[in-house]
């Protein structure tokens, strides 16, 4: 993506000129329509603008020129807003991607501002305290210039986005080059684009779900209840109904209780498998990668012929829910000589073996387990082992800017379960095509790396950018929700008493 931007500035400004002209044309046309008295048409249908927008969105998948539509004249947005009926929430398609706010250049070639994020100063119990860090000198945050508390290793790390994102925000305040950042922390919430809730919910689930003998509820549940109480009482939450709040809930079981009460917020998730559609969905929320547990393949000089295993799978064979496909596939594939199935999850000492296996395989299977996603996909990417994805409901990180078909094979479960279908498909991919996918894997691998300090285009920055893409739509939602500020405030909004509407977004 990065290389595209540089070379397309001239194309872009040309495109901008075209866009501006078209918009002016359409607007003047609409104006004529209105003055000829077709008010019914004007209020309800708005077909031309909708169509135009579809064209705009399709024509530019990187959406970096869309900001020009907004700035060319605000009236198009005003039309949209007037078209709305009362409190009802509209379907998401309408304004998605219409305006844009990301690290990309706008039409004048200026680099845009970083995403401004206000972070609640939550008690350390909710974040670094869970890493056994003790507050010192009255601050709830560790002084990351002196030492950085470490996140527990092993499988905990899969869901550690909470740690990397929070560290990155803290670092943005001591960075010597704040202009180079995708997201910065601001201390005044009225200047912020988004409000960040720094609860390490996955770690809380992983470590504190047990109910000890002297407790009524687990610490994980107590923390969630406290969090809901705190957050919904804040003026920031009340101002926006929570719509501009960001909650990290990467482990599918994290925030199990609080999610039903904090649903207006943006969740950062691994997938939507355990969420009702009205609580979390692809329009409102952000999908983040797992942190891979397999070692990265540094200086990968392998090739099609040196990777001896055709197809590699590691995981539990028997899973509940959607995981039945694993068992079926095992029976279909177990007699193929260059296919490797290994059972059980990757444990401490298993990492080396699994790394070796993935580093010496051409294709790596990803079959839906208990949930549509798993860290296996990200292990495969880190190993440059072409992922074969059999998970119909999977949602992938950054899919708005990344074409996964360039480096993954997608197979419908129903197809994969046909006799010989999968193995024939995989055998039909010859050296040249495989090598193209392998090259692409090496190219995209950095997008999935979590690290501190974060680097340009790594997972931390990509997640901030995914959030930045949501900001214009959120701001509009918030403005809309505040039209009736004279009326009795609906303070219960978002709490248990009010069910989530179907089309909140």
Positions that interact with ligand NAG (CB under 6 A): 71, 73-75, 188, 190-191, 298-299, 403, 405-406, 472, 475-476, 479
CB of 28 or CB of 71, closer to ligand NAG: 71
For the stretch 279-282, contacts whose Cβ atoms lie closer than 8 Å and that sit 24 or more positions apart, written own/partner, are 279/500, 281/505, 282/395
Minimum CB–partner distance for residue 406 and ligand NAG (Å):
4
CA angle 498, 393, 293 (to 5 degrees): 105
CB of 257 or CB of 283, closer to ligand NAG: 283
Minimum CB–partner distance for residue 105 and ligand NAG (Å):
19
Identify the DSSP state of 187: S
Largest CA distance in the chain: 76
Residues 381, 345 contacting (CB under 8 angstroms): no
CB of 77 or CB of 493, closer to ligand NAG: 77
Minimum CB–partner distance for residue 188 and ligand NAG (Å):
4
CB of 73 or CB of 139, closer to ligand NAG: 73
Tokens of 454: 């974060």
Minimum CB–partner distance for residue 211 and ligand NAG (Å):
41
- Which three-class secondary structure string do you get for 429-492? CCHHHHHHHHHHHHHHHHHHCCCCCCCCCCHHHHHHHHHHHHHHHHHHHHHHHCCCCCCCCCCC
Minimum CB–partner distance for residue 276 and ligand NAG (Å):
28
CB of 89 or CB of 336, closer to ligand NAG: 89
Q: To which residue do tokens 């294709």 refer?
A: 363
CB of 3 or CB of 191, closer to ligand NAG: 191
Minimum CB–partner distance for residue 253 and ligand NAG (Å):
33
**CA gyration radius, the chain:** 24
Minimum CB–partner distance for residue 67 and ligand NAG (Å):
12
Q: To which residue do tokens 């949209």 refer?
A: 80
Q: To which residue do tokens 């701001």 refer?
A: 475
Tokens of 287: 């999908």
CB of 300 or CB of 338, closer to ligand NAG: 300
């Amino acid at each position: 993506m990065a290389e595209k931007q540089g070379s397309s500035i001239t194309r872009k400004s040309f495109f901008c000129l075209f866009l501006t002209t078209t918009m002016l044309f359409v607007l003047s046309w609409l104006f004529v329509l209105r003055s000829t008295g077709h008010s019914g048409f004007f209020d309800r249908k708005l077909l031309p603008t909708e169509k135009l927008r579809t064209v705009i969105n399709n024509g530019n998948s990187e959406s970096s020129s869309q900001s020009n539509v907004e700035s060319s004249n605000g009236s198009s947005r005003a039309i949209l807003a007037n078209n709305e009926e009362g409190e009802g929430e509209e379907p998401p398609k309408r304004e998605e991607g219409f305006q844009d706010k990301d690290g990309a250049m706008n039409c004048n070639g200026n680099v845009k501002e970083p995403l401004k994020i206000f972070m609640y100063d939550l008690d350390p119990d909710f974040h670094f305290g869970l890493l056994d860090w003790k507050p010192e000198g009255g601050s709830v945050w560790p002084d990351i210039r002196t030492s950085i508390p470490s996140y527990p290793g092993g499988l905990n790390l899969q869901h550690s986005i909470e740690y990397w994102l929070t560290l990155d925000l803290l670092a943005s305040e001591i960075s010597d080059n704040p202009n180079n950042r995708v997201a910065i922390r601001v201390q005044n919430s009225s200047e912020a684009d988004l409000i960040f809730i720094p609860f390490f919910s996955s770690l809380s689930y992983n470590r504190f779900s047990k109910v000890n003998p002297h407790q009524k509820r687990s610490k994980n549940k107590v923390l969630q209840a406290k969090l809901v109480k705190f957050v919904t009482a804040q003026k920031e939450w009340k101002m926006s109904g929570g719509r501009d709040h960001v909650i990290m809930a990467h482990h599918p079981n994290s925030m199990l209780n609080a999610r039903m009460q904090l649903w207006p917020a943006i969740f950062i998730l691994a997938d939507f498998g355990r969420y009702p559609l009205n609580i979390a969905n692809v329009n409102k929320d952000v999908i983040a990668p797992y942190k891979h547990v397999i070692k990265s393949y540094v200086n990968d000089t392998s090739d099609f012929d040196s990777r001896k295993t055709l197809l590699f799978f590691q995981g539990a064979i028997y899973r509940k829910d959607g995981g039945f496909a694993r068992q079926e596939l095992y029976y279909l594939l177990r007699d193929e000589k260059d296919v490797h199935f290994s059972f059980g999850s990757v444990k401490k000492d298993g990492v080396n073996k699994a790394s070796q296996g993935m580093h010496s395989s051409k294709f790596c299977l990803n079959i839906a387990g208990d949930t549509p996603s798993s860290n296996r996909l990200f292990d495969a990417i880190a190993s440059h082992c072409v992922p074969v994805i059999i998970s119909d409901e999977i949602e992938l990180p950054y899919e708005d800017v990344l074409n996964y078909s360039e480096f993954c094979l997608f197979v419908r479960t129903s197809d994969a379960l046909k006799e010989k279908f999968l193995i024939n498909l995989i055998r039909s991919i010859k050296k040249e095509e495989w090598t193209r996918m392998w090259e692409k894997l090496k190219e995209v691998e950095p997008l999935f790396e979590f690290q501190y300090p974060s680097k340009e285009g790594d997972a931390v920055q990509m997640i901030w950018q995914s959030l930045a893409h949501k900001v214009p739509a959120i701001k509009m939602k918030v403005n809309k929700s505040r039209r009736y500020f004279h009326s009795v405030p609906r303070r219960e909004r978002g709490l248990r008493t009010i069910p989530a509407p179907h089309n909140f977004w």
